[in-house]
Amino acid sequence: MASIPFYARRFVSGANMADALTSVEKLNARKVSASLDLLGENITSETQARACTAEYVRLLEAIATRKIDSHVSLKLTMLGLDISESLCVQLLGEVLAKADALGNRVALDMEGTPYTERTLAMYEAASRDFRSPEIVLQAYLKRTEADVERVLKANGRLRLCKGAYREPDTLALQDMKDIRANYMKLAERALREAKRVCLATHDDALIDALKAFIAREKIPKERYEFQMLYGMREKTWFRLADEGHNVTVYVPYGEHWQAYYSRRLAERKENVFFVLKNLFRD
């Protein structure tokens, strides 16, 4: 992992697929699943987009061959959304077809608001042709309540996170108290109606509230999972798993770690404190 600097190694599982799969196997041994993510986004070359697609196909095949408990996450800009929507649809279809054939899942990561509608529309279309897609929604966006309804009308599979991009107050809630309240409201709606909800949060107050809601409403275990980032709150992953909850860790890998690490910190100053705090917290 020589190409990844020491300060990023806690949060990036490795420079290549082999490193990442080994990391996932260690998680599986502790009853924790994974969502593998090849790092990179905003691809501007069709050749690169096709190479990323081929890597995801190989990744899905490796997961099946090694009988690893993991699905995959991808960004549509990695599959050429900035180049051509038709190209992106074609390449996404190749990944989803492989996932369908292998009985796996593909999460469409949400990017900044210039991509929100396009990503959601592509998910809705893909859900009509494939079983494998799910989508990430961000609770801090004011539009997300309506977007949850669209997901419920599609295949009802989503990951809910707070949101990491810096967005204007015309589009996104800014106060963390309001974001938490909206997250819980949306999570409760999804837990009642969705086929599967991935609850992506490191927030202890939200985790406790979600656990209480799940117990009170008797939500079946197969319809939800808690999700957290690789390198953050490890003791919490294993505690939740030991309590009987499904737990998935988002496991990124690859040499293009800067967009996942450095640029994310620049987008929201709150993330700098969050990452630094988690260097010393499990």
- The rounded distance, in Å, linking the Cα atoms of 254 and 232 is 18
> Catalytic one among 105, 157, 159, 180?
159
73 Cβ contact partners less than 8 Å away, ≥ 6 residues apart? 35, 36, 37, 106, 107, 108, 109, 136, 250
List the structure tokens of 197: 């909800």
DSSP labels, 9-59: TTT---SSHHHHHHHHHHHHTTT-EEEEEE-------HHHHHHHHHHHHHH
- The rounded distance, in Å, linking the Cα atoms of 148 and 146 is 5
How far from 193 is each of 127, 219, 259, 267, 282, CA to CA, in Å? 17, 10, 34, 33, 32
> Catalytic one among 37, 82, 105, 109?
109
Q: In the annotation, is 175 catalytic?
A: no
Q: In the annotation, is 109 catalytic?
A: yes
Catalytic residues: 109, 159
